[in-house]
């Protein structure tokens, strides 16, 4: 079996009494799209920064492409690309000038830098100052700058945070394209649909520890969550719903009547017989259900 591109073993980082990262271990294979998920304060960004060589671990072992990233390793720098949560651009430079400047730091030609603008869909925006770009366009420029030197491994820290749904989906296509070129991609995100759509495997973190990891579809199957059948509220009475529920949990919020069941077929058949399918939706478990089951439902600022 080939050596993993990234190996993390018993990684730890504390700030006073706060254990930001508390014994994290995982591997990422070559060409894999790997996601690190977790609520705010889970330790995602601290973990990523230690792997990138931006922060010193208290203890543990990290190997990226067979090299230790700390202290800052000149052998690794040309082979990794890093897109941080908050990107800083040079003032008064256009998008094209920005990426050419980043590329020049690695001895990459202006022609190759311009090709990355085209890859992320900013070729027609090259002459605009970066502050004139939309949020989604600025994120794409940030990713292009991280890729200008054609790294083998790309680290993306919440790249779609704050973007509208259309811009997020557009950026997903860009990220898929980067991975399809054979690059290993490590992503942190708190958007569960994003991870489910993009990642080959995910690790769910909370309180500095990895709670569960694996392919999203496998984690969802292992949860054994009920199927939720919803119809428009008022189509049938609550008494009728209880009669055909067959042990299912019922919830009527005045908009939708929802059955939560592990045997959906009899309920669907009974609803069809009563011509009570208006507003029907059927939803199985998702990665969000796995996430909430592991990390809880309380809001965290």
Domains of the chain (ranges; CATH) run 6-221 (3.40.50.300), 226-284 (3.30.70)
Structure tokens at 51: 């792997």
pTM of the model: 0.85
Write out pLDDT tens, residues 223-255.
Answer: 888 899 999 999 999 899 999 888 899 999 999
Check whether 290 has a pLDDT greater than 80: yes
144 CB-near residues (< 8 Å, 6+ apart): 99, 116, 117, 119, 120, 122
Q: Residue 265: how many CA atoms within 13 Å on its side-chain side? A: 0
Give the model's pLDDT for residue 298: 59
pLDDT confidence bin for 2, thresholds 50/70/90? confident
Q: What is the pLDDT of residue 293?
A: 87
Helix then strand then coil, % of the chain, to nearest 5: 35, 25, 35
Q: What is the pLDDT of residues 260-276, one digit of tens each?
A: 998 999 999 999 999 99
| Mean predicted confidence (pLDDT) in 62-67 | 97
């Amino acid at each position: 079996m080939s050596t993993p591109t990234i190996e993390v073993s018993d990684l730890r980082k504390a700030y006073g009494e706060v254990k930001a990262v508390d014994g994290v271990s995982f591997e990422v294979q070559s060409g894999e799209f790997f996601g690190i998920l977790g609520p705010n304060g889970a330790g995602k960004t601290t973990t990523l920064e230690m792997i990138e060589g931006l922060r010193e671990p208290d203890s543990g072992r990290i190997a990226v492409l067979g090299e230790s990233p700390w202290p800052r390793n000149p052998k690794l720098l040309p082979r990794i690309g890093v897109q941080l949560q908050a990107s800083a651009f040079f003032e008064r430079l256009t998008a094209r000038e920005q990426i050419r400047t980043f590329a020049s730091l690695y001895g990459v030609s202006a022609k190759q830098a311009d090709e990355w603008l085209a890859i992320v869909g900013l070729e027609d925006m090259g002459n605009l100052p970066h502050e004139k770009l939309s949020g989604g366009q600025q994120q794409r420029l940030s990713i292009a700058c991280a890729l200008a030197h054609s790294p083998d491994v790309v680290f993306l820290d919440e790249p779609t945070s704050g973007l509208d749904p259309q811009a997020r989906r557009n950026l997903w296509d860009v990220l898929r394209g980067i991975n399809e070129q054979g690059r290993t991609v490590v992503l942190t995100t708190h958007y569960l649909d994003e991870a489910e759509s993009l990642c080959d495997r995910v690790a769910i973190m909370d309180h500095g520890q990895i709670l569960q990891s694996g392919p999203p579809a496998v984690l969802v199957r292992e949860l054994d969550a009920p199927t939720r059948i919803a119809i428009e509220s008022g189509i049938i009475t609550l008494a009728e719903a209880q009669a055909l529920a067959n042990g299912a949990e019922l919830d009527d919020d005045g908009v939708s009547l929802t059955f939560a069941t592990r045997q959906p077929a009899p309920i669907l058949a009974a609803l069809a017989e009563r011509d009570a399918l208006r507003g029907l939706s059927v939803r199985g478990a998702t990665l969000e259900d796995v996430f909430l089951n592991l990390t809880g439902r309380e809001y965290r600022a």
